[in-house]
Structure 1
Amino acid sequence: MRALLERHQSWIYLVFILAGVGVGLLRPDSTAAFDRLLWPLLGVLLYVTFTQVPLTHVREGMRDWRFLSALMVGNFVVIPLGLAVLVAWLPLSPTVMVGVLLVLLAPCTDWFISFTHLGKGDAGRAIAAAPLLLFAQLIMLPVYLWFFLGHDWLEAALSTHLLVAFVALILTPLFFAWLTERFAENQPRMQSLVCGMGALPVPLLAVVVFVIAASQVNEVAGLPDVLWPVLPIFVGYLVVAAVLGRFMGHLFRLDAPGARTLVFSFGTRNSFVVLPIALALPEPWQAAVVVIVFQSLVELFGMVAYLSLVPRWLIAAGSGPVGHVP
C-alpha cells in the first residue's frame, strides 16, 4: 500500500487540491472551520513523518564522510549561495520572496528517501543522513532568513505566535517521534506499528493540501500574479539541482547510487517543516503559504521526471565513481 501511494502521490495531491479549490469557491463560509482543522492535522502529519526519520541513529549517519560532505556542502552552502544570486536579480515581491526562500532553503528529510529508492539511489545513505539534514536546517534556517531578509524583517516575523507554532508544530512532534523510536527499539510490536505509520504521510498530506486549498483559494483569487512568476523559478531549480548533484558526485568521487542520492536530496525541499512557519506569519505575508504549496506540487511532478531521467541519462549505471561513468 505504501509503495502504491508513493508511486501515485503526485496525482493524489493534485486531485485533493482541485477538490479543495472547488469546496473553497462553492462554500467560502467554511474557511473558518478549515483553519481550525489545519493546525492539528499538521501536527499529526509532522509527527508521523518524523517517526519515519531514524532520529535515534544520528551517529550511524556520520560514517560516510565523503557522501555527507557533498550532501551538506550542496544543501547548506552551494544552494543558499545560488539563491542569494537569484533573489538579487529577480524582481520578486517581498511576500513571494519569503515563500520561495522558506521552501528552497530547507532540504527534504522524508519523501526524498522514497524517491531515492525508486530512482536507484542509495536509500541506506539517505536514511542515515535524514536526521542530520533535519537538525541542520532547524539551526540554519533562522540564520538564512536573517541574511536574506534582514534583521528588521526577522524581528517582525519572529513573533510570539510564530515561536509558539514552531515549538508546538515542529519541536513537539519531533520530540515525541524521537520518544516513539526510542521506545520501539526493543519492542517488535511497536516497531511494526512505526513501520505501518509509513503509509500515513501521503493520505495525511493529501488532506492537509485539501484544507489549505479550501481555506486559501479565495485569497489566491485576489493574487493572480503570485504563481506564474514562481513557476519558472521552481522548474529551473529542479534542473539546476539535478546538475549540481551530478557535479558534486563527480567532485567527491561518489559511486552512481550515491550521486543519485545527492540529486534527489538537492531536488526535494522540506515543505512539511516550513509550512507551519509560513502559516504563522503576519497576515500580509500569507501569500507565502500559497507559494510553498505550489512548489510542493511542482516538485512532485519534477520527481516523476527525475525517476526516469536520473538513472537512465543523468547518472547512468556504473560501479566506479561518477566521474568515470561514460
Structure 2
Amino acid sequence: MTLERNQVWIYLAAILLGLLLGSVRPDTASFLELLLWPSLVLLLYATFVQVPLLHLGASLRDHRFISAVLLGNFVLVPALVGLLVQCLPPDPALRLGILLVLLVPCTDWFITFTQLGGGSVLRAIAVTPVNLLLQLLLLPVYLWLMAGAELAGAFESVEMWSAVAVVVLPLLLAAISERWIEAKREREVVRSSLAWLPVPLLALVVFLIAGAQASVVLGTLDVLPAVVPLCAFFLVAVALIAKLLARLFGLPTDQARTLAFSLGTRNSFVVLPFALALPAGWETAAVVIVVQSLVELFGMVFYLWWVPRRLFR
C-alpha cells in the first residue's frame, strides 16, 4: 500500500524528471518514444490482469448498485462532460483530450481509493469488468456525438490501429492469464505479484511521455488555466451526482462511497495510446490527459477526507 499512498508524488517526480531529461537531451526523444509503446502494453496487461474479466455475469447480480454505477458513468457523466467541453477554448486537440479522459471510468486505482476511502472493495472489483467493456464500446459513440465533424481527421491515421492493438492485445492476454491462474490455486501468487507493477509502470510511462514530448509539454503550459479548473470542478460535480444516485437507489454507505470513487476516477492510461497515435498537431491531447490524471490524483487525496467524513458518513 506504500506505493499507492505515495503515487501522486511518484508520478509528479517522474514527469519532472522526464521534462528535465527531454530539455537537456532532446536527442533522446526518439529512443524514449520507442520505449513508450511496450511500456504501455506492460502497464495495461498488469492492470487488466487484476480485473475479473471472465466473471462478468457475477458482477451483474447487485442490480441497484450496478444500475447506479452504469447510469452515473455512462449517462450522467457523459452529459456533464458534454457541457463542460463547451466552456473550453475552441482548440480541437484540447477538447479531444478532455473528452477522451473524462468519458471513461477507471479500472485500476479506483479500487485502491475505494479501499482507502471505506468503500466496498468487492463491489468495486465486481463492477470493473463491466465499466471496462462498456467504455471500450461506447467511447467511439460519445466522440462521434460530441465532436464528430471536428475530430474526423484526427482518427484517420493508420497509426490508430496500433493504438487499438496496444489496448486489445493486453486485454486478450489478461483474459488468457486469468483462465490460467484460476486453473490452480497456487498460481494466484502470479496475479498478486503483478499487482505491484501498475504504479511503477505508470510512472515509467509518464516519464517517457514527458521526456519524448518535452518541447510539446512546455509549449502547451498555457492550457493549464483551462484544464485544471475544469478537471477540479468535474471531481466536485460527479461526487454530488453520486450523492444524488445513492439516495435515488437507496445504497448503503459503503456502496455509496464506492459509487463516488467510480465516478471520480477516470481511465487515463487506457486512452493514452489513442492520444499518442494522433497525427501531428494533436499532441496537446496527450498532455491534457497527463495533466488531468495529476489533478485527479490530488483530488483523490481530498476525496479520501471528504467522501467518508462528509459526503457519506
TM-score (norm 2): 0.97
AA partner of residue 64 (structure 1) = D
Q: Whole-Å Cα distance in 1 between the matches of residues 85 and 13 of structure 2? A: 32
Cross-structure match for 2:258: 261
Are 1:21 and 2:51 matched, yes or no?
no
- Aligned partner of 2:95 among 90, 94, 97: 97
Give 1:110 shift: 1.1
Higher mean C-alpha displacement, 154-163 vs 258-267: 154-163
CA shift in 2, pair 1:9/1:224, >3 Å: closer
Unaligned residue ranges in structure 1 (runs of 5+): 317-326
What does 1:1-326 correspond to in 2, within 5 Å? 3-151=1-149, 153-154=151-152, 156-166=154-164, 168-316=165-313
Q: Cα distance, 1:159 vs. partner?
A: 2.9
Contact 1:145–1:154 under 8 Å retained in 2:
no
* Count of residue pairs brought into register by the alignment: 313
Partners of 1:145 and 1:226 lie apart in 2 by 21
Partner secondary structure for residue 119 of structure 2: coil
Contact 1:116 1:122 (8 Å CA) reproduced: yes
1:234 & 1:99 partners in 2: Cα distance? 12
In structure 2, the CA distance between the partners of 1:123 and 1:158, relative to structure 1 (3 Å rule), is farther
**Is the contact between residue 50 and residue 173 of structure 1 (CA under 8 Å) also seen in structure 2?**
yes
RMSD of aligned Cα (Å): 1.2
Measured after TM superposition, the shift of residue 152 of structure 1 is 6.3
> Within 2, Cα distance between the matches of 1:221 and 1:152?
25
**What letter matches 1:315 in structure 2?**
F
Instruction: Tell me if structure 1 keeps the 8 A contact 2:92–2:151.
Output: no
| Alpha-carbon displacement from aligned partner over 1:267-305 (angstroms, at most 9, x marks no partner) | 000011100010011111111000000101111111111
Cα shift at 1:163: 2.0
Q: CA deviation at 1:17?
A: 1.0
Cα offset, 1:196, TM superposition: 1.3
Corresponding residue number in structure 2 for 1:319: none
Residue 155 of structure 1: CA displacement?
A: 5.4
Q: Which letter maps to 2:117?
A: G
Aligned partners of 2:309 and 2:81: how far apart in 1? Answer: 28
Which amino acid in structure 2 is aligned with residue 218 of structure 1?
Answer: S
Inter-partner Cα distance in structure 1 for 2:195 and 2:26 = 34
Q: Percent identity?
A: 50
- Matches of 1:300 and 1:152, distance apart in 2: 30
Q: What secondary structure does 2:159 align onto?
A: helix
